[in-house]
Structure 1
Amino acid sequence: MFLGTHTPKLDDKGRLTLPSKFREALAGGLMITKGQDHCLYVFPRAEFEQLARKVAEAPFTNESVRAYQRYLFAGTDEQRPDSQGRIPIAPELRRYAGLNKECVVIGAITRLEIWDSEAWQSYLDENEDNYAKAQEEILPGVF
């Protein structure tokens, strides 16, 4: 389970050092893809394979489904952390997420999200009140 907030930096070669607490879960390989809200999603390989199967089962006769499948799969990069826990972030993925040097990595249960630190702060500023005021209809029966 991926939880917490971490603030690694991209190095000059476009590599990000994964938080040490997540390295073992990702040592067997990971998939980096474009996420919603212009962040990147990082999935353990097995988790991404489950997601990919579900996405692939959607009817490709639907134009929106085809577009989503193309965007998701064409924008996915498979990586394996090096001995220091670093993963290279492809230039197109860095561009999509607006990643510069300062990054934020958040745990989102089944995946990590990589954000540009300023974009993450803006997201928090815009959504903090919504979280604080969340009503029953958001997650029925949870709280």
Structure 2
Amino acid sequence: MFLGTHTPKLDDKGRLTLPAKFRDALAGGLMITKGQDHCLYAFPRAEFERLARKVADAPFTNESVRAYQRYLFAGTDEQRPDGQGRIAITPELRRYAGLTKECVVIGAITRLEIWDSRAWEAYLEEHEDGYAKAQEEILPGMF
């Protein structure tokens, strides 16, 4: 399970050092793809394969399904962390997420999300008030 917020820096070669606490779970490889809200998703390979099977099971006769499949799979890059826990993020994925040197990596249970630090701050500011409402919708009566 991926949890927490981390602030690694992107180096001049487009490499990002993964948080140490996640490296064992990602040592077998990970799949990086375009996420919603202009961040990147980084899935352990097995989790991405589960997602891919669900997407593949959707009816490809549906235009929206075909578009989603193309967008998801064409934009996915497979990486294996090096000995220092770094992964290379392709120029296209860096452009999509607007990544600069300062990044934020958040744990999102089954995946990591990689954000440009300014974009993450803006996202938090914009959505902070909706957090309490969403909590009540997702977990009614829990709190």
Common fold by TM > 0.5:
yes
Specify whether residues 19 and 127 from structure 1 end up closer, same or farther in structure 2 by C-alpha distance, changes over 3 A only.
Answer: same
- Which deviations, in whole Å up to 9, do the C-alpha atoms of 1:6-28 show, x marking residues without a partner? 00000000000000000000000
TM-score under structure 1 length normalisation:
0.96
CA distance in 2, matches of 1:49, 1:7: 27
Q: Secondary structure at the match of 1:61?
A: coil
CA distance in 2, matches of 1:40, 1:33: 6
- Aligned-pair identity in percent equals 89
Q: What residue is the counterpart of 2:62 in the other structure?
A: 62
Instruction: Return 5+ residue gaps in structure 1 as ranges.
Output: none
CA distance in 2, matches of 1:82, 1:41: 19
Q: What residue is the counterpart of 1:92 in the other structure?
A: 92
Q: How many pairs align?
A: 143
Q: What residue is the counterpart of 1:43 in the other structure?
A: 43
- Which deviations, in whole Å up to 9, do the C-alpha atoms of 1:47-76 show, x marking residues without a partner? 000000000000000000000000000000
TM-score under structure 2 length normalisation:
0.96
> Which amino acid in structure 2 is aligned with residue 20 of structure 1?
A
Q: Secondary structure at the match of 1:137?
A: helix
Large movers: runs of 4+ above 6 Å: none
- Give the superposed CA RMSD: 1.1
